[in-house]
Structure 1
Amino acid sequence: MTNEQYQEKIQILKKWAYAYYVVDNPIATDEEYDKLYHEVLDYETANPSEVAEDSPTKRVGGVVRDEFSKAKHIKRMWSMEDVFTTNEVQEWLDRTVKNVGDCTYFCEPKFDGASMNLLYEDGKLVRAITRGDGAVGEEVTDNVRTIRSVPLSIEYEGLIEIRGEVVIRKDDFEAINKERLEEGEQSFANPRNAAAGSLRQLDSSVTAKRRLVFYPWGLGENSLEESKLSEKMDFVYELGFLEPPHAQECNGIEEIEAFYHNLISLRDEIPMIMDGMVIKVDEVNLQEDLGYTVKVPKWMCAYKFPAVEKVTKVNAITLQVGRTGVITPVAEVEPVEVEGAIIARATLHNFDEIERKGLMIGDSVILIRSGDVIPKITKVLDDRRDGSEVEIIRPTECPTCGSEVLDEGTLIKCQNLDCPDRVVNSIIHFAKKGCMNIDGLGSKIVEILVKEHKIEDILGLYHLKFEDLEGLEGFKEKRISKLLQAIADTKGVPLYRLISAMGIEHIGEVASKSLALEFGLSIVDATLEEIVAIDGLGEEMANSLLEFMRVNYDFVLKLFEEIQPTVEEKVEAVENPFKDKTVVLTGSMSVSRGIVKEMLEKLGAKVSGSVSKKTDYVIYGEDAGSKLTKAESLGVNTLTEDEMREML
């Protein structure tokens, strides 16, 4: 066989595989495919230096890794806001229309799997990264190469990130579990766990056997010029990616509701597990105008399917102590299957809820679960009682440390700062992504360190030595070194991250940034009046911060001394035409609007996403839309980008 014949046979194999795995319309028999496949494989074995990058033989895996490395997404992978009712969808639509006017919505199924980002460079698949925390994920390229519905090469020059969901079809999931049981292995709880677990196999040949499927739903980095997301996705499907079984352009609540209920009626027919429908603003320029919150894009949401209800029995109540000392009751129920997941516990939030529901141990209850939502009890079936039920008593002492609790009515709190559960949960929160991001310090390791008295609080992390960890279960030399280095790397972090990591009730990342900028290290001595004067911070947040600093004053100062956080200087903007003005940006500019926004904020302007009578200036670029029209109708000053720069 010549190299030219080899290349021709590869193209035939790729065509047959595409028809089988993507189009679901085979154009060759299994026997024909296998015969040609082995001819190609024999040539590659004899000529290893001539193996094509996109050869179908690379789909079988075989790469074995020691561990997964971290990789950055070029553009952030966001999660979505969840909505559950027609009213909540209408509220989301009202907010959207208020900010950008009427628009078209692109709706498609939300498959329940593992999110994936595929990076192609000059037509070649160069990297596959899991979502991770949205900024950094795990690099699983060798495993993703085994997924038949992921093209190894595409007709596209430059960089493009194609985002989507890795799923397992329902019938394949059942077949995999049957095989696992026959081999004496534990079955997967649901298709989503199976997909995620299959992607994280260190041996890629295991992934190759798992029948994974990739459905694209969006883009990260790209230079496509289409004005609508749906048009961009049409281009992606033309590159050889799977198209969702149903998708629709909708205008307004009536069309959205009709398509939503149509998808629900097709729930059993569609071969993948769906947990809802995704609604996206289709016009790309309006997506940019709407922008993002700290957590989610404002231009898309997940309209979750109705919760599935099951009847089960409450066998016991377990008490959990959180990092702030709040004691949460959890119902231990008779295990019941809900949409492929075995549910054995349900949250009860607080003891007031138990009393409101009239719940007793031994009661039959209705339990619901919707997608990712924690299972909860919605109704007590008290007509099924037989007299053996036992009343649930409010605790008077902490279930972990035995100290007397503070009963505030709705909340019951353990006040003991040395309570082991409070210590463990506060350290877990401190170490997690978005806080101090201590890689390798998971909940199990924290529990071991506290149980073995290696650390007694957050500060103890910074006094750990190699010999403290040597000999502990699961701690090998490489792991110990990596953990100690990860802890050391947190020194000098921005102050707002340290404040957020302390776990102060009601104080999240946004509030932490405002507090760090306003007070710096003097936050320990901030007063109520000073805190509530900050835009966005109310009295409840202020009181929570003051109480935390009162109880932990010396401890926080020791943390500051140990970690030496970086304090951002609050720079007073010089006098300029935009200082203290409210500005709205719209249209395409010479640089990204994010850069313009940052520049204006440094000048002391407040950059808003919507136009109102309080807006001082609307600065517009090419293809400006409804915001410019609204500004003109309200008599708001409008400036071109060039006029803005002339004023500066």
Structure 2
Amino acid sequence: MDIQNTIQTLRAELDQHNYNYYVLDKPIISDYEFDSKLKQLQDLENEHPEFFDENSPTQRVGGTITKNFQTVPHQHRMYSLDNSYSKEELKEWEKRVQKVLGEVPLAYTCELKYDGASISITYENGKLKRAVTRGDGFQGDDVTNNIKTIKSIPLQLKGNFPVTFDVRGEIILPFAGFEKMNQDLIEIGELPYSNPRNTASGSLKLQDSAEVAKRPLDCLLYFLIGNNLPFQSQFEGLETARNWGFKAPKEAKLARSLDEVFEFIDYWDIHRHNLPYETDGVVVKVNSFHYQDELGFTAKSPRWAIAYKFKSEQVATKLNSISYQVGRTGAITPVANLEPVQLAGTIVKRASLHNADQIEKLDIRIGDTVFVEKGGEIIPKIIAVDWSKRPVNSEPTKYITNCPECQTELVRGEGEANHYCPNFYGCPPQIIGRIQHYISRKAMDIEGLGGETVTLLFNNGLVHNYADLYELTVEQILPLERMAQKSAENLVKGVANSKSIPFESVLFALGIRFVGETVAKKLARHYKTIDALRNATLIDLVLVDEIGDRIAKSVIDFFENQENGIIIDRLKEYGIRFEITEKINLNATDKLSGKTFVVSGVFAKFSRDDLKKAIEDNGGKVGSSISAKTDYVIAGDNMGPAKLDKASKLKISIISEDDFINLINKTDAVKE
């Protein structure tokens, strides 16, 4: 008997049965027969380890232990979607699309918006290579071992497929499986899970993949991305993916007009309650990949797609009290403490009241019966008061005048919505919040140190600012609650490793008000060093691209604070990177310095991403849309007529990719 051939035949047969059962929902053998064949394969693989295959059906049972999930950058960024809540907003979105593309015939792919955890899965030569969580969109956690246990995700593809590509999907927990899990917990006296979405998301980070395998998770595919994909549209991509073995829900529909999109929305707004899993809206995508390329992206979202959110579920409950939270910047957030109530699958006890103006506008009072909904199905908020149930002795809410933590008198700047505690270096929640921000993933990404531990360190007098982290010793940490030798060593090691974090992340970590991740990158790339930035004047800062008065003033205020200067000098001594590390590119020049390019169309010698990289490598800037600031439009085949017309009206130079190549090959290119 040819053992290797028998093993390969069994694997192929079991893969097909998995596909029939979990994707097509059409099993052709009994569970007993399937289990018998799986046991036969397991025995043969155990007897012949030389034929091991990490993508064998036997590996779906799990058993791999992952202590720390490795952070992996996404090859293609995972964007979030813009939301809409009315058909009028969808009409406005279509107008924006047509403004870029012109009056071209448009088709849309309509898909249900699944409420789960987003995942990006890489396939190479038809085999599942890696699975990474969404994370912050730029990078996520490698959860490959856990993903392999989900039986609707193919380990080996069928048919003709590209050498490498990524699929995007949503990991969900169907209602039936969720209810069964909760029933099992109740029977053993444990608390049930709150909702399917959070349970699905939490399952991906379980350390034991065998435990993940016990959970009835599913994966619904919604997008494929890569070079040389054998289709030209979203809808065709979904159909092709099904042939390769993926579970792409058949509820998706190709709409030839916005009216057909509305029909799809109206139908599923009613029938979504009959689905076996949670959905909170519809995703509408421009069907053509060419048009998607033309439309491009904003800083956060694709311009070619939008989510229509179904009307949020509302409930009425009693407002028991109002408490006030202090953020790391000193901003005060009022929080409504509610009589617990079931809302959209979760128990809600608290809701944001935003600020004093919102409380006054709604005339919210303690003891009121209020209407609560989940904004975007995530954050609970109070939308109105039931006046008919207001107590007779009700009194208007008086907003606090002093910080609830340090009793400092609050301030409110002109034109600002929030009150602030100005006690920047003496208010505990601000100090703790700044350190927690400093250690976070998008900032210094310090492993072995979490938010609760920061609070513990502060409360025990071991840290008073983030510079103190670099003086911590294992001996100081060990006596703290829940701290063992290994965890103390990991904490100190994680802090030391943060010294290699690049300058742009360090700048974000400092917690300068209004300086988010994107602004920090702009400032780091412009000024190159912390000293150049701290010596910049207000006028200098405002002249930096996309830096306005508010951000500039905040940066000036931060560096004028003597305490901040002392902390930065200490961080320098500890070896923190306060200058940008330029990536070495032997072909890089500054030939395109000061010039802005817009890329449009399909190209023969470059991919769009490679073309944009070439612009940036030679000192140029890539613009997202044509404006008076655009110097050149690089036009490929099928460039949108609206862009062509706009560039002509603005008298912007329109060049080909060959013109661009000649441009960067010239010795004194574009220097005028």
Could you say whether these structures have the same fold, taking a TM-score greater than 0.5 normalized by the shorter chain as the test? Answer: yes
In structure 2, relative to structure 1, the CA distance for the partners of 1:575 and 1:468 (3 Å cut) is: closer
Could you tell me which runs of 5 or more consecutive residues in structure 2 were left unpaired when the two chains were aligned: 583-587, 667-672
Residue 585 of structure 1 is matched in structure 2 by 599
Residue 30 of structure 1 is matched in structure 2 by 31
Residue 468 of structure 2 is matched in structure 1 by 460
Residue 415 of structure 1 is matched in structure 2 by 422
Deviation string, structure 1 residues 607-643 (Cα, Å, up to 9, x no partner): 3333457644322234444366436764643222112
Deviation at 1:272, TM superposition (A): 1.1
Deviation at 1:311, TM superposition (A): 0.5
Deviation at 1:5, TM superposition (A): 5.2
Residue 526 of structure 1 is matched in structure 2 by 536
1:392 maps onto 2:430 in alignment: no
In structure 2, relative to structure 1, the CA distance for the partners of 1:548 and 1:616 (3 Å cut) is: closer
1:641 maps onto 2:657 in alignment: yes
Q: Would you say how many aligned residue pairs link Structure 1 and Structure 2? A: 645
Aligned-partner Cα distance in 1 for 2:90–2:67: 46
Deviation string, structure 1 residues 232-260 (Cα, Å, up to 9, x no partner): 23221111111213112234543333222
Aligned-partner Cα distance in 1 for 2:566–2:91: 47
1:145 maps onto 2:148 in alignment: yes
Q: Tell me the SS of whatever aligns to 1:412.
A: coil
Deviation at 1:527, TM superposition (A): 2.9
1:211-226 matched pairs, under 5 angstroms: 211-226=216-231
1:93-132 matched pairs, under 5 angstroms: 93-101=94-102, 102=104, 103-132=106-135
In structure 2, relative to structure 1, the CA distance for the partners of 1:104 and 1:556 (3 Å cut) is: farther
2:611 to 593, 596, 607: 596
1:561 maps onto 2:568 in alignment: no
Aligned-partner Cα distance in 2 for 1:460–1:532: 33
1:189 to 183, 190, 194: 194
Aligned-partner Cα distance in 1 for 2:539–2:647: 39
In structure 2, relative to structure 1, the CA distance for the partners of 1:553 and 1:59 (3 Å cut) is: closer
Aligned-partner Cα distance in 2 for 1:78–1:603: 27
Aligned-partner Cα distance in 2 for 1:294–1:629: 23
**Which deviates the most, 28-37 or 200-209?**
28-37
Could you tell me which runs of 5 or more consecutive residues in structure 1 were left unpaired when the two chains were aligned: none
In structure 2, relative to structure 1, the CA distance for the partners of 1:42 and 1:609 (3 Å cut) is: closer
Aligned-partner Cα distance in 1 for 2:94–2:550: 30
1:136 to 110, 132, 139: 139
Deviation string, structure 1 residues 576-599 (Cα, Å, up to 9, x no partner): 6x6544432222242333343344
**Which deviates the most, 66-75 or 397-406?**
66-75
Q: Tell me the SS of whatever aligns to 2:321.
A: strand
Deviation at 1:319, TM superposition (A): 0.9
Deviation string, structure 1 residues 374-424 (Cα, Å, up to 9, x no partner): 110000112202335454332222111222322558432211122110011
In structure 2, relative to structure 1, the CA distance for the partners of 1:372 and 1:384 (3 Å cut) is: closer
Deviation at 1:349, TM superposition (A): 0.8
1:438-587 matched pairs, under 5 angstroms: 438-491=446-499, 493-519=501-527, 520=529, 521-551=531-561, 552-555=563-566, 557-558=568-569, 561-562=572-573, 563-567=576-580, 580-586=594-600, 587=602
In structure 2, relative to structure 1, the CA distance for the partners of 1:460 and 1:84 (3 Å cut) is: farther
Aligned-partner Cα distance in 1 for 2:516–2:569: 22
**Which deviates the most, 272-281 or 587-596?**
587-596
Normalised to the residue count of structure 1, the TM-score between the two structures is 0.91
1:175 maps onto 2:180 in alignment: yes
Aligned-partner Cα distance in 1 for 2:43–2:526: 69
**Which deviates the most, 266-275 or 7-16?**
7-16
Deviation at 1:73, TM superposition (A): 3.1
Deviation string, structure 1 residues 467-519 (Cα, Å, up to 9, x no partner): 22123233333333333233223336444333322222222233323333444
Residue 73 of structure 1 is matched in structure 2 by 74
Is the 8 Å Cα contact of residues 325 and 335 (structure 2) preserved in structure 1?
A: yes
Aligned-partner Cα distance in 1 for 2:298–2:439: 23
Deviation string, structure 1 residues 196-244 (Cα, Å, up to 9, x no partner): 2222222222212211111111224453132223222322111111121
Residue 609 of structure 1 is matched in structure 2 by 624
In structure 2, relative to structure 1, the CA distance for the partners of 1:531 and 1:266 (3 Å cut) is: same
Identity of aligned residues (%): 35
In structure 2, relative to structure 1, the CA distance for the partners of 1:296 and 1:410 (3 Å cut) is: closer
1:330 maps onto 2:335 in alignment: yes
**Which deviates the most, 158-167 or 296-305?**
296-305
Aligned-partner Cα distance in 2 for 1:631–1:357: 45
Is the 8 Å Cα contact of residues 150 and 214 (structure 1) preserved in structure 2?
A: yes
Aligned-partner Cα distance in 2 for 1:124–1:574: 40
Aligned-partner Cα distance in 1 for 2:594–2:279: 47
Is the 8 Å Cα contact of residues 418 and 456 (structure 1) preserved in structure 2?
A: no
Q: Tell me the SS of whatever aligns to 2:203.
A: helix
Which residue identity is paired with 2:418?
L
Aligned-partner Cα distance in 2 for 1:628–1:329: 47
Residue 280 of structure 2 is matched in structure 1 by 275
Deviation string, structure 1 residues 320-371 (Cα, Å, up to 9, x no partner): 0011111111001111111211111100011221122111111100001144
Is the 8 Å Cα contact of residues 294 and 639 (structure 2) preserved in structure 1?
A: no
Deviation at 1:159, TM superposition (A): 2.0
2:439 to 431, 437, 456: 431
1:348 maps onto 2:364 in alignment: no
Deviation at 1:173, TM superposition (A): 0.9
Residue 635 of structure 2 is matched in structure 1 by 620
1:376 maps onto 2:381 in alignment: yes
Which residue identity is paired with 2:661?
R
1:244-263 matched pairs, under 5 angstroms: 244-263=249-268
Which residue identity is paired with 1:431?
I
Deviation string, structure 1 residues 291-339 (Cα, Å, up to 9, x no partner): 3333333333322221111101111111100111111110011111112
Q: Tell me the SS of whatever aligns to 2:228.
A: coil
Normalised to the residue count of structure 2, the TM-score between the two structures is 0.88
Aligned-partner Cα distance in 1 for 2:98–2:263: 20
Residue 344 of structure 2 is matched in structure 1 by 339
Aligned-partner Cα distance in 1 for 2:53–2:506: 50
